[in-house]
Structure 1
């Protein structure tokens, strides 16, 4: 049975772990090993008769290789008693490895930026409509392998993990280019949507240092994904301003920079931005950790109100849902955004905090999304019954079933947590383990759907 003392101890360890993961001096593998060592020390001290909080404080002090980092942690948490135990001394200077982070990131960003120009050497150009399907299929293959390589270097993964990463990227590249897909086929669109998701989860393996089975590592990657998205959007907004100024200033002197912007600035900047945003998340986590939870608290009630208004309008007008491709994509994106808000709120939440008003709002959002998912599923199955299966409808059906299962069980776990009958950790574990389902589905759509539907 879990006691309040155990809960407080886990909260202290979670805070210590989060601080260690933000430190560039340590890789995730090192932090994992140090946490195991810390827990072992705490167990020794508690078995010797110390209380859990006392054991934690002394164990941190006894972590010889972490003395300097512990001092910095104490400075940031000056209200803690153990500041007096570990404060003396000066902070450690940045390691040589941390100083190499920036130039390595710049190199990776440059490689990603130039990679999208390589097909042009073989006569495939971004601005040519005839080559649009090639870039739609392969867009994620220009930057994501480079990002995975950056994390593999940063996490110091072994040759076995590198081999797995390379094999998965090669598999994706061969599948999307070897299949004889027509430019107007539905499989082209499905591949363009699902391959980036499949490869992003491959990046997650590199981010986790190869330890994808760890719930904590998967949750770290979920948190990273939300933070990366925020930084990438901010970089995109800045890039839009830069583009406007580039066009305006050159036009003022009679030069047309539109060709440069379309062929170089936008595509190369977007690919480099994927790597730069990842580096910013890793380097500036303390800033984004304050921003992202605020955004989830702002948009969760707004999305809940919007979806509730949709349900009321649906019932009031008694209008059916048009299940054309664009509408299906819209509803799937809406449900994915809802799930993203839920995931990121979970990743940013203190597991020891009691349920509050925001948790009830999240529960309402999940329940409303669940009802909408059921309505969409009924519309899709009716359309399939009437007109038969197609790649688009089959993909939409599978994705909505997967989302339905996740939302339904999440709602049940959330209800149990809000009523005080289940620990929050169960909901967290469910979400991290369900990521594997998304990965399997994405690869199924990319590799299997074209074969099943005869490349239609």
Structure 2
């Protein structure tokens, strides 16, 4: 590497911090990191010679290099042969230590996937079956797979003992919440717990994911990207599993044997739980080697959802009809708003922070404003029904969720408006979204822990 650029110990400390950040990306080998640092130091030298102070030169040089994801894509183009070899399970690189790490990751992931599969069948040792104890399996579904995914991520990140202790406490609390309250199968709280406990525990998975840099907003945004990509991988695994099940039925029935019992009792439940861990491992193993899917998904679905929401608002205005606030409708509207929020988060995770505002940013503003208007209509309908007929667990949960979404969407719209008008930085929007994530986790825990005893008669 070149010798350090002028500026003394303070500049070298900045280089050290930058190097540690880059070295966290496993797809970049040490020679790659050194090459990037050489380029950065050369840019700083040029800017210092041009008259900038050392700290100013460092900041400008880093901004010129762009985000780390862009650098990773650049390396994927320049070193495609070596990076494609990293897609092979055995590693395939010249760096034996890196290959060993990949194999260790795979072995740990396989062990955690087996643990998730075994967890699904463990309740049967105590006489609990899906047919007779549907409520138990519904409320505990997240506890079969998510602890194992969190364990894999915590191991891979080298989580501290404090983080591991917090993870154990959160999953233990989830187990208590799912099983401590004697709820009838038809209770509304059973459904609410089955919906909200996975959300609450998913943020525990996020704690394991970000355990190597808990205070970093960018790390939280990486978890948003991880969530979306895991979902895509999981769907692909499920489609492949469907083909496998089809072959199982066809081949076994051809010899007069029906595999229906084995498939229903073993293959499907165990495979569904294990696939959560496998999908997580795939996202981690392929991180930044192939093109990130976030830009593709957001640019495809943002215009479609914007048109759909605007069409709904226009139709609502023309028909002047009310909004049905029964449970299925509430879930549908909440899912719609969550999808809009997911599109916003995904686009933020994929956007170049230094890029000027463009047409896509204006389209996102239209999407958020449309969702905000629908959220207001739903809130008005819910409060009207509560004041007229009283509250239920479903309506109370929907009221809280829509109020939380309203606050997020309202401030997001304001920040997007500032970005589009060039009166506010993109980083403000990113910090707002990553800082707001714990609010969702907090509300999910409130629904799981407080609602069952509060509405035990419903």
Question: Are 2:108 and 1:104 equivalent residues in the alignment?
Answer: yes
Partner of 2:7: none
> Deviation of residue 314 (structure 1)?
1.1
SS at match of 1:290: coil
Question: 1:369 matched to which residue of 2?
Answer: 371
After TM superposition, give the deviation of residue 77 of structure 1 in Å.
6.9
2:73–2:288 Cα contact (<8 Å) kept: no
8 Å CA contact retained: 2:305, 2:367: yes
TM-score (norm 1): 0.83
| 1:345 Cα offset (Å) | 0.7
Confirm or deny that 1:446 pairs with 2:448: yes
> What is the CA–CA distance in structure 1 between the aligned matches of 2:57 and 2:430, rounded to whole Å?
28
Number of residue pairs aligned between Structure 1 and Structure 2? 412
Alignment CA distance shift 1:178-1:50 (3 Å)? closer
Aligned position for 2:85: none
Work out the CA distance in 2 between the residues paired with 1:196 and 1:349: 28
After TM superposition, where is structure 1 displaced by more than 2 Å over at least 4 residues in a row? 12-22, 41-57, 71-79, 90-99, 210-214, 285-292
Give the one of 100, 115, 120 matched to 2:119: 115
- 2:8 maps to none
Q: Indicate conservation of the 8 Å contact 1:155/1:209, yes or no.
A: yes
Instruction: Quote how far apart the aligned CAs of 1:22 are.
Output: 3.6
Q: Matches of 1:448 and 1:324 in 2, distance apart?
A: 22
**In structure 1, distance between residues paired with 2:19 and 2:363:** 29
| Distance change (3 Å), C-alpha of 1:236 and 1:18 | farther
1:23 aligned to 22, 26, 38, which one?
A: 26
Q: Tell me if 1:206 matches 2:213.
A: no
- What does residue 10 of structure 2 align with? none
Query: How far did residue 52 of structure 1 move?
Result: 3.6
* Aligned-pair CA distance for 1:125: 1.5
- Give, in angstroms, the shift of residue 221 of structure 1: 0.8
SS at structure 2 position matched to 1:139: helix
User: What's the offset of the Cα at 1:242?
Assistant: 1.4
How far apart in 2 are the matches of 1:314 and 1:110? Answer: 50
Taking a change above 3 Å as real, the CA distance of residues 17 and 361 of structure 1, as seen in their structure-2 partners, is farther
User: CA 1:361–1:17 in structure 2 vs 1: closer, same or farther (change >3 Å)?
Assistant: farther
Contact 2:44/2:57, CA 8 A, preserved across alignment: no
Structure 1 residues 71-99: Cα deviation after superposition (integer angstroms, max 9, x where no partner): 999855769xxxxxxxxxx9644433333
**Contact 1:281–1:288 (CA<8 Å) still a contact in 2?**
no
Separation in 2, partners of 1:54, 1:453: 57
Q: Secondary structure at the match of 2:134?
A: helix
User: Does the aligned pair in 1 maintain the 2:302–2:367 contact within 8 Å?
Assistant: yes
Match of 1:323 in 2: 325
1:358 is aligned to 2:364: no
Q: How does 1:193-232 map to 2 (within 5 A)?
A: 193-209=195-211, 211-232=213-234
> Of the candidates 412, 415, 418, which is equivalent to residue 413 of structure 1?
415
User: Could you state the TM-score of these two structures normalised by the residue count of structure 2?
Assistant: 0.83
1:413-437 deviation line (CA, Å, top 9, x unaligned): 0010011110000000000010010
Q: Is the 8 A contact 2:72 2:289 kept in 1?
A: no
Note the 1:5-84 alignment, pairs <5 A.
Answer: 20-23=23-26, 47=53, 51-52=57-58, 76=76
